[in-house]
Amino acid sequence: MKTLFIGGIKSGKSRNAEEYIQQHTKHKPVYLATTEFIDNEMQQKIDEHKKMRENRFITVEEALNLKEKIELQEGAVLVECLSMWINNMLYHEKSYDDMLAELSLVMQLRQDVVFVINDVSCGVIPENRLAREFVDINGRLAQFVAGECDAVYHVVAGIATQIK
């Protein structure tokens, strides 16, 4: 089963996705963290998130190759988060087609996967080209993943509403 949690920044989507995957699996789920270490501030955020998860998850870190890491796992996988993964892919000069191909392969895997992605569709149009490209790709890939998933939840103010 594939499930998507989408919402704005600090909407509660990650917490809801974590609770969801723990309720829907018999074994300790894998937390596939996509954030790349960039600077000390990012490292501090990564450390805080690890501490918050405690021992409820098996943490695996991978910034680019989702399929490769997910297919190695025995149980359910929480991908946190696709927006950061898109950011990483753009930083490493990967195209939309590269990202779509990778996610298409992930959707074919046998593992149950819960995805988290930011909803960037309600903001203003960014003034710089790279930010516009990110918003465009994030929105298009969110649509693709939502279309492929069995269930989709929209999260606002910590409340998840199933929309598919």
Q: What is the pTM of this model?
A: 0.92
Token pair for 63: 């910034």
Q: What are the residues facing 5 on neighbouring strands?
A: 116, 153
pLDDT in tens, 151-164: 999 999 999 999 99
Residues above pLDDT 90, as percent of the chain: 79
Question: What structural domains and CATH numbers belong to the chain?
Answer: 2-162 (3.40.50.300)
Amino acid at 129: R
Q: Which of 24, 27, 49, 154 is catalytic?
A: 49
**Among the listed ranges 41-45, 107-111, 152-156, 159-163, which one has the minimum average pLDDT value?**
41-45
With cut-offs at 50, 70 and 90, classify the pLDDT of residue 121.
confident
Strand order across the beta sheet in which 77-80 lies: 58-61, 30-33, 77-80, 113-118, 2-7, 151-156, 159-162
- The more confident residue out of 84 and 50 is 84
pLDDT at 110 over 90: yes
| For residues 50-54, average pLDDT | 69
With cut-offs at 50, 70 and 90, classify the pLDDT of residue 125.
confident
- The more confident residue out of 102 and 124 is 102
| For residues 8-26, average pLDDT | 94
Amino acid at 8: G
49 is catalytic: yes
Cβ-based neighbours of 135, under 8 Å, separated by 6 or more: 120, 121, 123, 125, 126
Res 62: pLDDT: 94
pLDDT at 48 over 90: no
